Structure 1
Amino acid sequence: MPPETDLPEAEGPLKRDLIAGLEKGLQVIEAFDQERSRLTISEVAQRTGLTRAAARRYLITLAHLGYVRHEQKLFSLTPKVLRLGQSYLHSARLPRIVQPLLYRLAYSLEEAASAGVLDHDELVCVAAVSAGRVVSATLQPGTRVPAFCTANGRVLLASLPQQEIEALLARLQPEQITSFTIVNKERLLLEVARTRAQGYAIVDQELELGLRTIAVPLRNFRGDTVAAMNISVHAARMPVEEIIERCLPPLLKAQVELAALL
């Protein structure tokens, strides 16, 4: 048996070591989203780059396994797909370690707290506590939102090498989600640089009207940024100056505590 570390990380795995069927099956699952929760075989083929015959076979297989349901000519995902995300949330160290600190933050401040990681251009929430205040539907484990207009996302972008940040923004087509959303790429670069310099990010209603968020990076004992953690408040209840005064100190305290655990 070849050693587990026989693949150079910079070059990625060899093509012969990849299972194309698994890759394409996951692409079929990812073809479904909030805008198109029900798809025909032709639509799945178009979204995945598969032939119609291949898309049909993958959908039939996924339906047989219970991940997809078939109603007339339309296919949709079943709740069984959630098992894939639950496997990560139940097995990964990060959510288990962060969750108790989020509880403490959320209930001491009586605000919502969450932690997230970067996945390509998106921020994925991996843990969250509402403390009785439901300020946004996006603050739920498994939720994906654009990284460029979120506090956690900007903190994580600020941890990347400058070349990667510029490459990400070059391919990004920022959407004007609210009237506050920053879509100018030069200004976004300045915001990421500001976040890196000050050690935290504040995003004021750029993702959702009424949602104001402050975030800090979560670093491991080596100093590598592995996640981000935030506090979210209703904008009508807390101005920017107050969110810095009230929420930043406990966030920084939790940041120090978590560095010894991550």
Structure 2
Amino acid sequence: MARKEDDMGEASGYRPPAVVRAMDVLEILSQGRPQRLSDLARLTGVGKSTLLGILNALEERRWVERRDRLYGLGPGLLRLVRRAYGLWNVAEVARPFLERIAADLGVTALVGVPAGDRVRIEDCVPGGQGMQVQARPGEAVPFFAPATAKAFLSALPPERGRALLGRRRLPRFTDRSKVDPEAFWAEVEQARERGYAEDKGEYLEGVRAVAAAVRVGGDPVALVWAVGFGAGLTEAGWHAAGHRVREAADAIARALARESAGGPPAAGPGSPGA
């Protein structure tokens, strides 16, 4: 009997009203203009009490966010799309920035996307001559590899970052690894203040890295980092690399935001708006 009801539902094209109303709300908000509850009620023809329940459900998924009584799309939709289809053409957008960092500083520059308990490398550009840190697109590093993990956590609201870190001991990759979550969190906070994270031989012995998060819609969606042997740059040189990585991450974020909004092609380094 239940099967017959399912068949009838398919044949009749039945659409649950609440689902249709939620889709209507998302379609309206996708136009980019935040809306008040009263405006959404007028545009959808749905009563305020019913509409509020729909908005609350969408807020729980972070598909919708409310700020100062205005509703807009939230980062949850972005994460959903990214899981299903990947993050646009992040490698293509990031490539000119990575090339410039690698050429100017002689370090290996990478971009990657968080994927579960790993960060998947989307592109890698070696820099300089002689021995270099090597990686290939498609390879991955552990999520809690120090530079990328600190950069990702520092780009989240503190309460979310702290919850993700938890209180468990962290992996010990080298003798320099910070395995105590309190010590690790202190470096996350430093990364938040600076705008980039550092790894001084904590993941690979004798290798340093600096990393920054690419934030779109308020959430970190990708990571840019530069890696090299510790003696390859002076201390001031590594700080300069950190600033370059942060600037590249911000420019890539702007380019991806334009692309997701259907704007003009992304600009490379030195181009207007980059």
TM bucket (normalised to shorter chain) is: 0.5 to 0.7
Q: Which residue of 2 aligns with 1:103?
A: 99
Amino acid at match of 1:242: G
SS of equivalent to 1:236: helix
Q: Which residue of 2 aligns with 1:231?
A: 226
1:249–1:191 Cα change, 3 Å: closer
Describe how 1:49-128 pairs up with structure 2 within 5 A: 92-128=88-124
The C-alpha deviation readout for 1:58-111, integer Å capped at 9, x for no partner, is xxxxxxxxxxxxxxxxxxxxxxxxxxxxx977x832122112221222122222
Describe how 1:120-159 pairs up with structure 2 within 5 A: 120-131=116-127, 135-137=132-134, 139-159=135-155
How far apart are 1:158 and its partner, in Å? 1.1
CA contact (8 A) 1:147 1:154 kept: no
- For residue 241 of structure 1, the aligned residue among 230, 233, 236 is 236
CA contact (8 A) 1:135 1:211 kept: no
1:168–1:120 Cα change, 3 Å: farther
State TM-score, norm by structure 2. Answer: 0.57
CA contact (8 A) 2:196 2:245 kept: no
Q: Which residue of 1 aligns with 2:78?
A: none
Q: Which residue of 2 aligns with 1:205?
A: 201
| RMSD over equivalenced CA pairs, Å | 3.0
1:195–1:153 Cα change, 3 Å: same
The C-alpha deviation readout for 1:209-262, integer Å capped at 9, x for no partner, is 121011222234x554322211111112224332113x2343344344323311
Describe how 1:25-40 pairs up with structure 2 within 5 A: none
How far apart are 1:183 and its partner, in Å? 0.3
Distance of 1:101 and 1:241 partners within structure 2? 21
| Residue 254 (structure 1) aligned with residue 248 (structure 2) | yes
Segments of structure 1 that go 5 or more residues without pairing to the other structure are 13-86
Distance of 2:203 and 2:171 partners within structure 1? 10
CA contact (8 A) 1:114 1:127 kept: yes
The C-alpha deviation readout for 1:135-174, integer Å capped at 9, x for no partner, is 334x332222233333122111112233332333226442
State TM-score, norm by structure 1. Answer: 0.59
1:88–1:111 Cα change, 3 Å: farther
Describe how 1:213-224 pairs up with structure 2 within 5 A: 213-220=209-216, 222-224=217-219
Higher Rg? 2
Segments of structure 2 that go 5 or more residues without pairing to the other structure are 1-12, 24-53, 63-83, 257-274
SS of equivalent to 2:182: helix
How far apart are 1:118 and its partner, in Å? 2.3
The C-alpha deviation readout for 1:18-50, integer Å capped at 9, x for no partner, is xxxxxxxxxxxxxxxxxxxxxxxxxxxxxxxxx
Distance of 1:126 and 1:232 partners within structure 2? 15
